[in-house]
Amino acid sequence: VKLSELAERIDCRLDGDGEIEIHRVAGIQDAGEGDVTFLANPKYEKTIHATRASAVILRDAAPAAPCAMLRAKDPYLAFARAVALFAPAWKPSPGVHALAAVASDAVLGRDVSIGAFVAIGEGTVIGDNTVIFPNVTIGPGARVGRDCVIHSNVAIRERVTIGDRVILQNGVVIGGDGYGFVRRGDGTHEKIPQVATVVIEDDVELGANTTVDRPAVGETRIKSGTKLDNLVMIGHGVTIGRNVLMAAQVGIAGSTHIDDDVVFGGQVGVGGHLTIGRGAIAVGQSGVTNSLDPGARVAGYPAIDNHEWRKSSALFRRLPELKRRIEALEAQIASLSSSRADKPERSSE
C-alpha cells in the first residue's frame, strides 16, 4: 500500500513521500525498507534517528525522524490500525466440518464456521458469522452470539451465555463448577451443586487457559468490553464490570464484585465477597484482602495504598540498617544511663 493511502486509512497526517510502498508493520529495531514502524512512548523517541524503516507513526509533538512520518494524536491506536490493515486476512470458510458433532436441534446462524471435532450440544444457539475452531465443546443449552471467535480446545459448558464479538483464546473454560463444598461432621465435604450459569457480555476477550466458574445460585457475569489475559481464574458468583483489564494469572475468589474500569497487574489475588470500586488499580502480585474504594491504587500483600506501600517497601530493604541504628541508640542510652547510674537513685537496677 502507498504511504499516502496508509496515512488516510489510519487517520494520520503525512509528512514525507506519499509514493513510498509499505509492505509491513515492524518494531523499531526490526524495521527496514518498506516497513512502517511506530513510536508510542515518548521516552524512546531519541532512538528514532537510528531506524531503517521507510516510515514511522509518531505523535504530533515528537521530534522529526530521518524517514517519512505519519503524525497521529494517538500513535498507538494508529499503529493498532496499521497492524490490522496488513494482517493476513485468514479466516476459515463458513460451513460445518464433516467431522463435527452438532446436535440436531442446535441452531446455527448464517455463515457460521464450525471446525473438525467440535461438539455442540442439544439446544445450543450459535450466532451469525461466528467461527468455532477444532476440538471445541459447547453446551448443551448454551448461547453464543454473533461474530465471535472461539479458538481450539475451548470448553463452554451447559447453559452458558456468550455475547457478540466475544473472543475466547485456546483452552478457555467457561462454566466449570465453582469451588463450593460444605464440611460434614466427619471432616468430608459435600458438593454444593453448581448449577447456575455464567454470562459473558459483548466484546469480551479471554486469554488462553483462563477459567470462569459457575455458581450454585445467581450467576457469574463478565460485562462488556472486559479483557482478561491468560490463565486467569474467575471464581463462582463473581461480577466483573465493563472495560476491566486483568493481566495473566490473576485469581478472583467467589462472590466478589468488581466495578467498571478496574485494572489488575499479573498474578494479583483478590479475596472472596469483596467489592472493588470503579477504576481501582492493583499492581502485579498484590493480594487484595479488603474491599477497595473507587480509584484506589494498591500494592503489596495485604494490599495497601500504593504510595504508602512504596515507602514501606523501600524501608523493608533498609531493615538491617534500622536495626543497627536501634542498637547504636541502645548502646548510647546505656552509656548515658550508666554514667547517671553512679548516682544512688539508679543503682538499684
Cell numbers linked to 30: 526490526
Q: Which of 4, 14, 109, 152 binds a second copy (CB under 8 A)?
A: 152
Cβ-contact 286, 298 below 8 angstroms:
yes
Site mask, a second copy, residues 73-92, x = CB under 8 A? -x-xx-xxx-xx-xxx-x--
Does 10 sit near a second copy (CB under 8 A)? no
If residue 257 lies in a helix (H) or strand (E), which one and from where to where? Answer: strand 257-258
Q: What DSSP character marks residue 164?
A: T
Give whichever of 16 and 237 is closer to a second copy, judged by the CB atom.
Answer: 237
Closest distance to a second copy from the beta carbon of 135 (Å): 5
Q: Which is nearer to a second copy, 61 or 320 (CB)?
A: 320
Q: Which stretch binds a second copy (CB under 8 A): 4-12, 52-60, 62-70, 129-137?
A: 129-137
Residue numbers 132-151 binding a second copy by CB under 8 A: 133-137, 140, 151
The set of catalytic residues is 236
Q: Is 94 in the site for a second copy (CB under 8 A)?
A: no
- List own/partner pairs for 71-76 with CB under 8 A and 24 or more apart: 71/12, 71/13, 71/14, 71/15, 72/10, 72/11, 72/12, 72/13, 75/38, 75/39, 75/40, 76/38, 76/40
C-alpha 200/C-alpha 35 separation (Å) is 38
Q: How many CA atoms lie within 13 A of 79 on its CB side?
A: 18
Pairing of strands 245-246, 263-264: parallel
Of the candidates 198, 251, 200, 197, which has an alpha carbon nearest to the alpha carbon of residue 225? 200
CB of 228 to a second copy, least distance (A): 9
- Name residues contacting a second copy, limited to 208-227 (CB under 8 A): 208-209, 211, 213, 216-218, 225, 227
Task: Give the one residue of 16, 127, 271, 277 binding a second copy; rule: CB under 8 A.
Answer: 271
- Count other C-beta atoms under 10 Å from residue 43's C-beta: 7
Q: Does 117 bind a second copy (CB under 8 A)?
A: yes
164 lies in the site for a second copy, by CB under 8 A: no
Tell which one of 4, 170, 291, 306 touches a second copy (CB under 8 A).
170
Identify residue 177 by its one-letter amino acid code: D
Residue 30 touching a second copy (CB under 8 A) = yes
Please list every residue from 280 through 339 that binds a second copy, using CB under 8 A. Answer: 284-285, 287, 289, 300-302, 304, 308, 311-313, 315-320, 322-323, 325-326, 329-330, 332-333, 336-337, 339
**Least distance CB 242 / a second copy (angstroms):** 8
Number of amino acids touching a second copy (CB under 8 A): 119
Q: Which residues pair with 150 in a beta bridge?
A: 132, 168
Helix (H) / strand (E) element for 70: namely: strand 68-72
248: which DSSP letter? T
Which one of 6-14, 49-57, 60-68, 170-178 is the stretch in contact with a second copy (CB under 8 A)?
170-178
Chain positions 43 to 72 lying near a second copy, rule: CB under 8 A, are none
